[in-house]
Amino acid sequence: MEKFRLRFCWLVVLVVLFCAHAHATTLVIQSGRLKGADNVLVGNRFYNVDFVEGTCVSVFSGCTSFAFSTATTASRARAALLGQVFLDGVLGNFDSNPTLTFGCIDPTHCLVQTPYSANGVSVNYAFAANYDNPVADYVGFASHSVLTIDTSSPTDAGGSPDSVVWGIWTPVPEPSSLALLVAPFGCLVFLRLFRSHKSNEGVVRQRSQ
């Protein structure tokens, strides 16, 4: 019986840890348009991403507050957009129809910019370009003036329909670390209490005899 309880206890631990890691990317859709996604895996951590229009100053607290601080981490985020977010499915053809993405009005492509550094004059960002032809999708890096970059403009610098939005990334709270510490500790406490209870039962029986 004690072996059964021990196995059951560790089964509970495994279930808790599995649930802590069980994330699935969920698209955020408003009025039929892709507004972002939750639980996007970037590297070894999950993030929520929102597509937002505006200037870098207005969107990122003076163009100083970014989820990623290096080109390497920002490049992982841009790749995650193409691999996990811009997909065709029952909710919409968000890969082959760029106009279904919030802030994008050009039928040929949509650019999502993920900034990672700024010096007060220019902002550096990684971008994911989602085209109506998936073969044409690509990623890259660019920089722009902090004062003039504005994704809410209806046209770009060349006069073409604007199809650029910012990606605001927010880390998803990680319950796995807490679960990793609490679950085994709780298991040990349970077994210790059970053994103590059995020991007390034995003492009571001996006295009663």
Of 4-8, 29-33, 56-60, 81-85, where does mean pLDDT reach its minimum?
A: 4-8
Report DSSP state, residue 135: G
Q: 80 or 203, which is more confident?
A: 80
Residue 156, helix vs strand vs coil: coil
121-126, long-range: CB < 8 A, 24+ apart? 121/145, 121/146, 122/146, 123/56, 123/63, 123/149, 124/71, 125/74, 126/71, 126/74, 126/75, 126/77, 126/78
Report DSSP state, residue 145: E
**Side chain identity at residue 205, one-letter code:** R
Per-residue pLDDT of 122-147, as tens digits, reads 999 999 999 999 899 999 999 999 87
The whole-number pLDDT of residue 174 equals 75
Question: Residue 52 pLDDT more than 70?
Answer: yes
Domain ranges of the chain: 2-19+176-200, 24-171
The whole-number pLDDT of residue 1 equals 54
Provide the mean pLDDT of the chain.
Answer: 82
Question: Residue 198 pLDDT more than 70?
Answer: no
Q: How far is CA 167 from CA 39, 56, 60, 173, 197, in A?
A: 14, 11, 10, 19, 56
Q: Provide the pLDDT confidence category of residue 101 given band limits of 50, 70 and 90.
A: very high
